[in-house]
Amino acid sequence: MHRQYHRWYAHALGRDMELLQYGHAGPPMIVFPSSMGSFVEYEDNGMVAAVGDKLEHGALQLFCVSSVDRESWYNRHAHPGDRVRRHLQYEDYILGDVVPLVHQVNQYPTIGVTGCSFGAYHAMAFALRHPYVFTGCVAMSGRFDITQFLDGHFDQDVYFLNPPSFLPNQSDPYYLDQYRRNKWVLVTGEHDICRGDSESFSRLLHARGIPHALHTWGFGSKHDWPDWRQMAATYLP
């Protein structure tokens, strides 16, 4: 399997960032880690191995990024507004650095996003905010409301970063038409602590007329890597 390490200075964040690329061809997907996770998390937890056949045969390519969650949503020492601004800088990094890298090494016409747990929030938020850049989203065991991290702080930036806030009011055909063309997959476990969040978000998508799939994994599945490995093998890309 092709595996390549990338590291460069991210001007949007003011520091170096790292990324691991897996696979040589196929539909590319940017992988967001779980809470405060890094670019090695997917491999370390067996997720890359779980989709190894697809990577080997050119049916999938992964770009695993690090988060800056410790500096944004989880930084309780910073003012909530500063947490939000740090995340927006991270968004600039993904759009300005990672997306061009994906296009440089892969000529596939679309890019997908995926993640588990808090990584699913990142994937969903990026896909909803930039539906012409990211045309597929596989969100596993996600919780999509980020107001829990902001100590009651709420402004326009928070509104547009929080899918449960902005999606019910989205009426712009520019976004809705593309949402309805894109691929949306929600996956959760039958005993997943975030099962209710996935089911609730499915109802939001349905209310906006956005075709999508909601899969509740059986077999006693919970909010953990052994179940996510099986989900990834089944639903990526």
What CATH number did the domain enclosing 207 receive?
3.40.50.1820
| pLDDT band (50, 70, 90) for residue 223 | very high
pLDDT at 159: 98
pLDDT, average across residues 204-216 = 97
**What average pLDDT does the structure give for the chain?**
97
What CA–CA distance (Å, rounded) separates 21 from 1? Answer: 10
Give the model confidence (pLDDT) of 95-148 as tens digits: 999 999 999 999 999 999 999 999 999 999 999 999 999 999 999 999 999 999
User: Structural domain tally of the chain?
Assistant: 1
Let me know the angle formed at the C-alpha of 87 by 169 and 71, rounded to the nearest 5 degrees: 140
Residue-range definition of the domain harbouring residue 80: 3-235
- Flag whether pLDDT at 237 surpasses 90: no
- Picking from 31, 34, 72, the residue whose alpha carbon sits closest to that of residue 48 is 31
φ/ψ (deg, to 5) at 231: -65, -45
Give the model confidence (pLDDT) of 80-99 as tens digits: 999 999 999 999 999 999 99
φ/ψ (deg, to 5) at 170: -70, 120
Whole-prediction pTM value? Answer: 0.97
